Chains A and B, each alone.
Chain A
Amino acid sequence: MTGSVEQHVSQPYKYGWSTDVESDLVPAGLNEAIIRLISEKKLEPEWLLQWRLSAYRNWLKMKEPTWANVKYEPIDYQAVHYYAAPKKQKKLESLDEVDPKVLETFSKLGIPLEEQKRLAGVAVDAVFDSVSVATTFKAKLAEHGVIFLPFSEAVREHPKLVRKYLGSVVPATDNFFAALNSAVFTDGSFVYVPEGVRCPMELSTYFRINAASTGQFERTLIIAEEGAYVSYLEGCSAPMRDQNQLHAAVVELVALSDGEIKYSTVQNWYPGDENGKGGIYNFVTKRGDCRGRNSKISWTQVETGSAITWKYPSCLLTGDNSIGEFYSVAVTNNHQQADTGTKMIHIGKNTRSTIVSKGISAGKSQNTYRGQVKIMKNAQGARNFSQCDSMLIGDKCGAHTFPYIDVRNSSAIMEHEATTSKIGEDQIFYCQQRGISAEDAVSMIVNGFCKEVFRELPMEFAVEAQNLLGISLEGSVG
């Protein structure tokens, strides 16, 4: 049985190929000249360059955080290429002009950019290395006044909006990785939903790191004006490479009065091989500000990839009666390490937050939930419900839970539940004795464990997430 546990754990990564397109790569290393170069390549205005430079100068004074429950060799930030783009870049008017090899990559990933035109459904922005390759459905969205653009285009076309909101949720000096991102971010998505508009389709961005030794530093900014609604999904993957690759993204969400943003992530960055070699370092800052009354921000994440995950999608519940939600499934296998969770900061009155975290550890992995719920002094009538469940598969992995609760208003109602369960030989054999194969048993138990999170995902992605989970854990129990 132990033999087949090993066998199952060593399931290969399905998205590990790389695409042979010439890259326009800036020299490795980080200094002001590189930042100027990136800004210049992106035809950016002076204020943004200055913003980047100031972030960089702050970053130089900052220390990499060490409090997370993850271990890795020191990162040489001078060895990273901070900008890579498929070459022969020109302004693209339609998908037909995109390098067919890049399109092939996305279709291998199951993102049918071309199909998108026919299927009424999801509008996709695809970011390949550092550059946004194609944004579909631009016209249809424009009819509703919805702006969905690659970040660099938004800077050019809507500078006022970008300038108003950029860094307003995650300041450039927020933390080490956010500062780094602010200095060197390359592309990402920008979404603006005007007052009273319900975005007519799911918006989706697909991120892919292709070039070797590059970092990907995307920046996403989503604004829901008063009474607006948008549901947004991001997916990601990367080729298998022996070197660790750095991914330090920043996502900022702003919901104004009665506005609602639903942000879903299916993260499948390359996790490294079965010996822990290679894989993406995923150091991401995601934060939403429920700035207006009755606003709502909901994070749903399914994290299956990355060698290391350091990620805490958070909500600032600034407006009265605002609602923050965090639904998470984090799966680690082999030597993966995840330190992930959320922060719910209750500032306004009658603010409510819900946290449902499901951690699944298999192989020799370490899976940590780290969450903070903070009730500020003026947050009269705040409520939080937290549920942190861990599941262990096999006996060489670890699950850890670090909930921080800080209540400064005595009217707050806090609930916290936590469970730990295990899929071991006994459970599998029990299922098998009832006619259910080992693989079906794992999938059934894991999906049962995660169902509260999966049902928060948009339908089409819930199916994808379930499949992904199946692949990640295939064979993790014999």
Chain B
Amino acid sequence: MLEIRNLHAGVDGVEILKGIDLTINAGEVHAIMGPNGSGKSTLAQVLAGHPAYGVSEGSVVYEGRNLLELEPEERACAGVFMAFQYPVEIHGITNAYFLRAAVNAKRRCQDLEELDPIDFMEVLEQKLDVIGWTDSLMERPVNHGFSGGEKKRNEILQMAVLEPKLAVLDETDSGLDIDALKAVAEAVNTLRRPDNASLVVTHYQRLLNFIVPDFVHVLARGRIAKSGGKELAHELESKGYDWIKEPAGVV
């Protein structure tokens, strides 16, 4: 599904990613861990196409297409979704309106008819059922006045409705208490399917107790310093990141 080769990227001329290689297949959950400043969020932003980040070298192929050539909205329509670490507030537009606009943008790309508000509410309610949430946020402006937990939950709800093929969760656990963390993780697990994949970016191991990854990659100084199975996350939890930094360059 996704093949990243020798990816170098940065912001304002400062190189942060210094040669990332990563392959993600359908049905897999990959976790990216690493200390602050190791480039985790940069990787997420580059995949989503944030305009502030520039790619200087390497390639990213998504479903046979050069992902780096696509505009952010084209990536979204092709099924790439990023749950934001800091979801953005938009005044004057209700959450429901925003989400319907997003769904319809995607449906236009797929040559499907747009949903009217009534049809959309049906789709929304089905999704809420699936992830077992009731909704109280839909008529409020997008993320405006939401608590930290509500914002993150809202990201996952958008993900549920938009049904991405590749979901990138950028530090979705940060700022969540344990109950919210569980709720978010359960929703992500419910949405897991053989034909989609997730890239979970996190600083802490605790999210991975709930979203169990197939692969764990540790990022250090802009490169993947170590890869392994889910047990690698536990090792990191007990030993910290320092021991990883030593064999940097070993892929």
Task: Give the shortest distance, in Å, between A4 (CB) and chain B (any CB).
Answer: 8
| Interface residue B51 (Cβ < 8 Å from any Cβ of A) | yes
Q: Is the CB of A421 within 8 A of B91?
A: yes
Which segment of A162-170, A284-292, A399-407, A443-451 sits at the interface?
Answer: A443-451
| Interface residue A410 (Cβ < 8 Å from any Cβ of B) | no
Q: Is the CB of A433 within 8 A of B93?
A: no
| Interface residue B105 (Cβ < 8 Å from any Cβ of A) | yes
Pick the contact of A429: B50, B89, B106 (CB < 8 A): B50
Task: Give the shortest distance, in Å, between A313 (CB) and chain B (any CB).
Answer: 23
Across-interface contacts of A427 in B (CB, < 8 A): 88-90
Pick the contact of B97: A429, A440, A448, A449 (CB < 8 A): A448
11 pairs, CB–CB < 8 Å, chain A vs chain B: A1-B51, A427-B88, A429-B88, A430-B84, A432-B76, A433-B72, A433-B73, A433-B75, A433-B76, A434-B162, A445-B92
Across-interface contacts of A449 in B (CB, < 8 A): 91-92
Q: Which of A380-429 contact B (CB under 8 A)?
A: 391, 419, 421, 425-427, 429
Q: How many residues of A contact B (CB 8 A)?
A: 24
Q: Is the CB of A433 within 8 A of B48?
A: yes
| Interface residue B87 (Cβ < 8 Å from any Cβ of A) | yes
- Given the interface pairs A1-B51, A425-B51, A425-B52, the reply to whether A433 lies near B82 with Cβ below 8 Å is yes
Across-interface contacts of B98 in A (CB, < 8 A): 431, 434, 444
Task: Give the shortest distance, in Å, between B105 (CB) and chain A (any CB).
Answer: 4
| Interface residue B124 (Cβ < 8 Å from any Cβ of A) | no
| Interface residue B195 (Cβ < 8 Å from any Cβ of A) | no
Q: Is the CB of B87 within 8 A of A430?
A: yes
Q: Is the CB of A440 within 8 A of B101?
A: yes
Chain A, residue nearest B105 (CB): A435
Q: Is the CB of A436 within 8 A of B97?
A: no
Q: Is the CB of A429 within 8 A of B51?
A: yes
Across-interface contacts of B81 in A (CB, < 8 A): 433
Q: Is the CB of A436 within 8 A of B101?
A: yes
- Given the interface pairs A432-B71, A433-B82, A440-B105, the reply to whether A445 lies near B93 with Cβ below 8 Å is yes
Q: Which of A200-223 contact B (CB under 8 A)?
A: none
Chain B, residue nearest A358 (CB): B92
User: Complex formed: what's the CA distance from A325 to B88 in Å?
Assistant: 34
User: Complex formed: what's the CA distance from A440 to B90 in Å?
Assistant: 14
Task: Give the shortest distance, in Å, between B201 (CB) and chain A (any CB).
Answer: 15
Pick the contact of A436: B49, B73, B84 (CB < 8 A): B73
| Interface residue B109 (Cβ < 8 Å from any Cβ of A) | yes
Across-interface contacts of B87 in A (CB, < 8 A): 430
| Interface residue B212 (Cβ < 8 Å from any Cβ of A) | no
Task: Give the shortest distance, in Å, between A277 (CB) and chain B (any CB).
Answer: 31
User: Complex formed: what's the CA distance from A437 to B73 in Å?
Assistant: 6
Chain A, residue nearest B91 (CB): A421
Q: Which of B73, B76, B92, B162 has the most CB of A within 10 A?
A: B92
Across-interface contacts of A391 in B (CB, < 8 A): 91
